[in-house]
Chain A
Amino acid sequence: MEYLVFLVRRLLWSLLVLFGLSVVIFVIARGMPGDPARMALGPTASADQVAQLRETMGLDLPLVTQYVRYLGGLAQGDLGRSLLTGRSVSADISDTFAATFELVLATILIAFVVGLPLGVMAAQWKDRWPDNSIRLFALLSAVTPTFLLALLLQILAGYVLHVLPTTGRLPIGAGFSADITGLVTVDALLKGNWAILGEGLRHLILPAFALAAASVGQVALTTRASMIDVTSQDYVEAARAFGVPERVRVLKYMLRPALVAPMTILGLSFASLIGNAFVVELIFAWPGMASYGVRTILQKDLNAVMGVVMVSGAFFVMVNLAIDVATGLIDPRVRLGGRS
């Protein structure tokens, strides 16, 4: 019951953030110099054509009316029409979002699967060589520019190893359609298509690791700090005094309360993860939102740009909601006491 209240509160909260985000994006988009209708029609259009399109796009209405219209569209999942592709922005984005989602999901998975054990080990051997080397590694991976790492990995794979593919999500022409969940690896698994699953994973490895490096470092460092914090708590000492074995102490008594911090950090810095995902997608030609986003940005395809930013923001809010739900499950303090 308390948990339900907590969930509802977080959900309402997320909606509020989304609403705020839509205002910010709308204001920025309308505040930009340059006439969107003019840009849409190109330099050869006549003044009449521009005026006509302005009317169709509703640009001649008062700003508040325009915003209400925009919000009404948003509520129905309508992000307007892209000037670049001529399709509805939501169709364009839903075609590309799954790829981004898959990449980000893999990244989060790697961040925890690699970062968590590193952080735990570092905390266990605090101030001794394993700790020092893990800290250095984590710091290095947190501060290595994502674009540099992505480029280096691509060169390594493309010229030296020849083992992993350097572009795309599947071999071009593989003819596999991920029509269940949109995630190639998951759909291949569901359909039992092992060849595609293998290919999907092989294509995923490089971009996911390039993107995950920063998060791995962050998760490892935060886990270490919060494990050390927990280590000095009386309840850990109490467990030790009562003869609870170290393995259980570390993996149960310490790790669980220590999990909240890295999860929260990952949620808060998720926006920069999305930004980096753009860089990684461009370098590895990953067919996600990035290439669409960048192209629409360059074309000043306003509806599409607003859509991409809005969907990225919604993605952020969704992930943070999921993290809230998870931390609420892990740590009763979160759901019982609420979080400021």
Chain B
Amino acid sequence: MVPGQGPGPVMGCSQLGSDKMKTWNKVASAGAGLLLGTALAGPALAQTVITLDTPEVPGSLDPSKISDAGDYALAVNLYDALMTVLPGGALAPELAESWEVNEDATEATFFIREDATFTDGSPVEASDVVYSYDRLMRLNQGPSNLFAGVVESVEAVDAKTVRFTLSKTFAPFLATVPSIFIINEEVATANDAGDDAQEWLATNPAGAGAYLLKDGPSGSGIVIERDEDYYGGWNESPIDEVRWIVAPDDSTVRSLAASGELTMVSAFRAPETYDALMEMGRFTQEDTSTATAYLLKLNTQLAPTDDVHIRRAIAYATDYDTIREVIYPGEELTGPLPPAFADFIPEGLPAPEFDMEKAAEEVAQSSYAGAPIPITLGYVAGTQFEEEISLLLQSNLEQLGFEVTQQADPWARVVEIAGAVETTPNVNQVFFGPTYPSPDSMFFSQYHSDSAGSWTSMEWLEDPEIDALIDEARSSGDPEVQAAAYGELQERIVDMQADVFLLTLTFQLVMDECLTGYEFVPMQSVPSDFTRYEWLCD
């Protein structure tokens, strides 16, 4: 029987139809590719594809090397961890269906889901967790610093049970567990060329994540596609494919959006860019408050910012409104903790104010009064808004008798000059958000002596009382003790004006009207886990 002639089976007809359709589609897309340049992806039947821009593709897909939000955004889709973080900061099960913590919080035991599988179909077992953790610590990169000196050992109790033993009580420990992505030990060791499979894992994922690598990574982008067999299951209208296109400049982002290639735009672009995108009509903008603070870190050990009056003068000479309204969108920030940690912020912390007269009074009270005061303003080279803020501050400080030197450095150099008091500029523009959902992440990295010499702690506080308060909160399982310590910490830091609290970062998330599911997660601060998104249009 010849299909298409006479009343054949319904199945056959529709197949024929779709076959024809496919062939036609191929021809059309080939022709269009040559002439018009429509996307080449082929038939794409009812595929939901999301395209977003990124300033760069991570150098390595290795989850043990995650050092910034961009790395994390990719890894969280390719790999799963024992636990995950929900919007609002609550911890939720992922590979582990449940966990137990012993009384003095020195042991945590995780029970892995029976049905949890890696993308190659093999089951996720306790040995994989042990391997992943040990490898993380061996490489000593990425999130390993969260565990050094805290975790004593990780052992497999049985195939599906794994126990973390801590060397001391460490209250925020559970919040750090979502940072350990679980690697498929079997695959990794099979590809280990004596380098802990670093070479192989740099370009090949071996995880239990919801997405598979489809294309890349290359200097122009990376593509991941949905794993239909993902053990965690899928929502009704999932995202089938996610493409990151490298767009180094804002102008590239805009031209990509103008030619209809973007469904979602990355954060941290210039406000002008978001305005222009919104004018294109097919995007929605969602402004979300984040847990990221934008600070001027003042070097408290270097003249003239070693004088609290000078530090206060700088705080008064900062034009917060102009910065928030014109230069960089954000909300008020009153102290070290952003509003996302509202539960821990004590009442009555004064809001910073812009008052040149008070600034002049503070200068007059300082030991540097009466002569021109040399001061260095550091920021990251090439970031336009940081330059604008630095210029704004310079013009105000010059009115107060400061002699300003601007010091723009590439990020790698900022990291380096943060290593010594003498090389750290007086004023440093830094964004800092929690790397795990706990206030401890904000305090320990920025103000504890153990963190000295890092870009996160360019204040050079090295204050024993501050250290004691942080340690107290860490080693106590009691939320009230913690809250009290955090409260006092904030009051002290605000009073000594270790930082100028510019603003709380607002995410200007611009995405296609059809895309939904974004909610802010206080970890690595990028909207990234695409299992949580849905596509609402056809």
- A296 and B65 CA atoms in complex are apart in Å by 15
Query: Nearest-CB distance from B40 to chain A (Å)?
Result: 5
Query: Nearest-CB distance from B45 to chain A (Å)?
Result: 15
Digitize A182-203: 1 where CB-to-B-CB distance is under 8 Å, 0 elsewhere: 0000000000001110110010
Interface residues of A in 160-202 (CB under 8 A from B): 162-175, 194-196, 198-199, 202
* Minimum CB distance partner of A53 in chain B: B140
Whether B219 contacts A285 by the Cβ 8 Å rule is yes
Interface residues of A in 275-310 (CB under 8 A from B): 281-283, 285-288, 290-292, 295-296, 298-300
> Please, which residues of chain B bring their CB within 8 A of the CB of A84?
59-60
> Please, which residues of chain A bring their CB within 8 A of the CB of B57?
291
Q: Is B487 an interface residue (CB 8 A)?
A: no
Q: Is B318 an interface residue (CB 8 A)?
A: no
Whether B258 contacts A158 by the Cβ 8 Å rule is yes
Whether A287 contacts B219 by the Cβ 8 Å rule is yes
Q: Which of A8-16, A42-50, A330-338 contacts B (4 or more CB under 8 A)?
A: A42-50
Whether B219 contacts A87 by the Cβ 8 Å rule is no
Q: Is B367 an interface residue (CB 8 A)?
A: no
Q: Which of A91-99, A106-114, A212-220, A243-251 contacts B (4 or more CB under 8 A)?
A: A91-99
Whether B454 contacts A285 by the Cβ 8 Å rule is no
Whether B258 contacts A162 by the Cβ 8 Å rule is yes
- A285 and B245 CA atoms in complex are apart in Å by 8
Whether A168 contacts B220 by the Cβ 8 Å rule is yes
Whether B256 contacts A166 by the Cβ 8 Å rule is yes
- A95 and B241 CA atoms in complex are apart in Å by 24
Whether A288 contacts B60 by the Cβ 8 Å rule is no
Q: Is A154 an interface residue (CB 8 A)?
A: yes
With contact pairs A99-B219, A173-B215, A285-B219 given, residues A86 and B65 touching in the complex (Cβ less than 8 Å): yes
Whether A166 contacts B145 by the Cβ 8 Å rule is no
Q: Which of B8-16, B27-35, B370-378, B516-524 contacts A (4 or more CB under 8 A)?
A: B27-35
Whether B251 contacts A87 by the Cβ 8 Å rule is no
Whether B40 contacts A199 by the Cβ 8 Å rule is yes
Whether A87 contacts B199 by the Cβ 8 Å rule is yes
Interface residues of A in 139-175 (CB under 8 A from B): 151, 154-155, 157-159, 162-175
Whether A285 contacts B246 by the Cβ 8 Å rule is yes
Whether B56 contacts A44 by the Cβ 8 Å rule is no
> Please, which residues of chain B bring their CB within 8 A of the CB of A172?
51, 215-216, 220-221, 223, 243-245
Say which residue of A39, A42, A164 sits within 8 Å of B37 (CB atoms): A164
- A283 and B251 CA atoms in complex are apart in Å by 10
Interface SS of chain B: mixed
Whether A171 contacts B248 by the Cβ 8 Å rule is no
Query: Nearest-CB distance from A99 to chain B (Å)?
Result: 7
Query: Nearest-CB distance from A310 to chain B (Å)?
Result: 19
Q: Is B484 an interface residue (CB 8 A)?
A: no
Q: Interface range on chain A: under 10, 10 to 19, 20 to 34, or 35 or more?
A: 35 or more
- A282 and B220 CA atoms in complex are apart in Å by 10
> Please, which residues of chain B bring their CB within 8 A of the CB of A300?
412, 416
Whether A88 contacts B245 by the Cβ 8 Å rule is no
- A168 and B243 CA atoms in complex are apart in Å by 13
Whether B195 contacts A81 by the Cβ 8 Å rule is yes
Digitize B39-82: 1 where CB-to-A-CB distance is under 8 Å, 0 elsewhere: 11100000001010000110110100100000000000000000
- A81 and B220 CA atoms in complex are apart in Å by 23
> Please, which residues of chain A bring their CB within 8 A of the CB of B254?
158-159
> Please, which residues of chain B bring their CB within 8 A of the CB of A39?
416
> Please, which residues of chain A bring their CB within 8 A of the CB of B412?
298-300
Say which residue of B199, B252, B453 sits within 8 Å of A166 (CB atoms): B252
Q: Is A31 an interface residue (CB 8 A)?
A: no
Whether B221 contacts A86 by the Cβ 8 Å rule is no
Whether B256 contacts A283 by the Cβ 8 Å rule is no
> Please, which residues of chain A bring their CB within 8 A of the CB of B454?
43-44
Whether B59 contacts A195 by the Cβ 8 Å rule is no
Whether B202 contacts A158 by the Cβ 8 Å rule is no
Q: Most chain-A Cβ atoms within 10 A of its Cβ — which of B49, B59, B419? A: B59
Whether A173 contacts B214 by the Cβ 8 Å rule is yes
Say which residue of B33, B140, B141 sits within 8 Å of A199 (CB atoms): B33
> Please, which residues of chain A bring their CB within 8 A of the CB of B245?
167-168, 172, 285
Digitize B197-213: 1 where CB-to-A-CB distance is under 8 Å, 0 elsewhere: 01101110000000000
> Please, which residues of chain A bring their CB within 8 A of the CB of B220?
167-170, 172, 285-287
Say which residue of A43, A283, A287 sits within 8 Å of B418 (CB atoms): A43
Whether B219 contacts A291 by the Cβ 8 Å rule is yes
- A81 and B259 CA atoms in complex are apart in Å by 39
With contact pairs A154-B255, A159-B255, A168-B246 given, residues A88 and B219 touching in the complex (Cβ less than 8 Å): no
> Please, which residues of chain A bring their CB within 8 A of the CB of B243?
172-173
Interface residues of B in 134-161 (CB under 8 A from A): 139-141, 145, 148
Q: Is B120 an interface residue (CB 8 A)?
A: no
With contact pairs A86-B199, A159-B258 given, residues A195 and B252 touching in the complex (Cβ less than 8 Å): no
- A82 and B58 CA atoms in complex are apart in Å by 13
Q: Is A34 an interface residue (CB 8 A)?
A: yes
- A170 and B57 CA atoms in complex are apart in Å by 16
> Please, which residues of chain A bring their CB within 8 A of the CB of B214?
173, 175
- A58 and B41 CA atoms in complex are apart in Å by 48
* Minimum CB distance partner of A39 in chain B: B416
Q: Is B501 an interface residue (CB 8 A)?
A: no
> Please, which residues of chain A bring their CB within 8 A of the CB of B241?
173
Q: Is B415 an interface residue (CB 8 A)?
A: yes
- A331 and B61 CA atoms in complex are apart in Å by 51
> Please, which residues of chain B bring their CB within 8 A of the CB of A285?
219-221, 245-248, 252
- A35 and B214 CA atoms in complex are apart in Å by 38
Whether A165 contacts B246 by the Cβ 8 Å rule is no
Whether A281 contacts B418 by the Cβ 8 Å rule is no
- A296 and B219 CA atoms in complex are apart in Å by 13
Interface residues of A in 18-65 (CB under 8 A from B): 34, 39, 41-45, 49
Q: Is A269 an interface residue (CB 8 A)?
A: no
Whether B416 contacts A45 by the Cβ 8 Å rule is no
Whether A45 contacts B140 by the Cβ 8 Å rule is yes
> Please, which residues of chain B bring their CB within 8 A of the CB of A286?
219-220
Query: Nearest-CB distance from A242 to chain B (Å)?
Result: 49
- A292 and B33 CA atoms in complex are apart in Å by 29
- A85 and B204 CA atoms in complex are apart in Å by 12
> Please, which residues of chain A bring their CB within 8 A of the CB of B4?
none
With contact pairs A81-B195, A87-B199, A202-B37 given, residues A154 and B218 touching in the complex (Cβ less than 8 Å): no
> Please, which residues of chain A bring their CB within 8 A of the CB of B453?
43
Say which residue of A34, A87, A194 sits within 8 Å of B202 (CB atoms): A87
Query: Nearest-CB distance from A17 to chain B (Å)?
Result: 28
Q: Is B274 an interface residue (CB 8 A)?
A: no
Q: Most chain-B Cβ atoms within 10 A of its Cβ — which of A158, A169, A196? A: A158
- A42 and B413 CA atoms in complex are apart in Å by 12
- A51 and B256 CA atoms in complex are apart in Å by 47
Q: Is B249 an interface residue (CB 8 A)?
A: yes
- A84 and B199 CA atoms in complex are apart in Å by 11
Query: Nearest-CB distance from B242 to chain A (Å)?
Result: 10
* Minimum CB distance partner of A197 in chain B: B34
Besides A44-B145, A172-B245, 9 other A-B contacts (C-beta < 8 A): A39-B416, A49-B140, A159-B254, A166-B252, A172-B244, A199-B37, A291-B219, A292-B219, A296-B59
- Chain A residues engaging chain B, CB cutoff 8 angstroms: 34, 39, 41-45, 49, 81-82, 84-88, 91, 95-96, 99, 151, 154-155, 157-159, 162-175, 194-196, 198-199, 202, 281-283, 285-288, 290-292, 295-296, 298-300
7 contacts between A and B (CB under 8 A): A43-B415, A43-B455, A44-B148, A49-B140, A154-B251, A158-B259, A283-B248
Q: Across the A-B interface, give the 3 residue pairs with the lowest CB-CB distance, nearest first.
A: A158-B255, A287-B219, A86-B198
- Chain B residues engaging chain A, CB cutoff 8 angstroms: 29-30, 33-35, 37, 39-41, 49, 51, 56-57, 59-60, 62, 65, 139-141, 145, 148, 195, 198-199, 201-203, 214-216, 218-221, 223, 241, 243-249, 251-252, 254-256, 258-259, 410-412, 415-416, 418-419, 453-455
